[in-house]
Amino acid sequence: DGGITQSPKYLFRKEGQNVTLSCEQNLNHDAMYWYRQDPGQGLRLIYYSQIVNDFQKGDIAEGYSVSREKKESFPLTVTSAQKNPTAFYLCASSTRQGGDTGELFFGEGSRLTVL
C-alpha cells in the first residue's frame, strides 16, 4: 500500500544531542513537508521541499535541518540548537503533477521527548 512512513514513533533524547527523524514515502510525490505540533496547538511548518535537492525554511526552522537527496526521503534533524524540541512531529507529502487535489498526505508522526 502507498503511504508515508515515519520512524521512530517514539524517541527520547538527552539535552545536547542531535537526533534524526525519518520520513519515507512511496506515493511518488514531489513535495514533502515537516510540521511540528505542540499540545493543544495547531501544526507549524518547519521545512518543506518541492523537488529533490531543494528545500525551503518554514516558520520555525531554527534549530532544525533537512536534506532531500532522494525523492522518497526527507529526514529531519533536530539539533542541539533547538531550545525546546519536545513535540510531536508530522511529515507530509503532496503531488506537484497534474491532478493535484491540493491535499497533503500525512505520516503517523514521531513523538520526541527531551530528558
- CB-CB contact of 107 with 88 (8 Å): no
Is residue 52 within the footprint of another protein (CB under 8 A)?
A: no
Residue 38, classed as helix, strand or coil, is coil
CA nearest neighbour of 112 among 28, 33, 36: 36
22-41 positions binding another protein, by CB under 8 A: 30-31, 33, 35, 40-41
Residue 75, classed as helix, strand or coil, is coil
53-112 positions binding another protein, by CB under 8 A: 58, 88, 90, 92, 94-97, 100-104, 106, 108-109
The owner of cell 523537488 is: 51
Interface with another protein (CB under 8 A): 30-31, 33, 35, 40-45, 48, 50-51, 58, 88, 90, 92, 94-97, 100-104, 106, 108-109
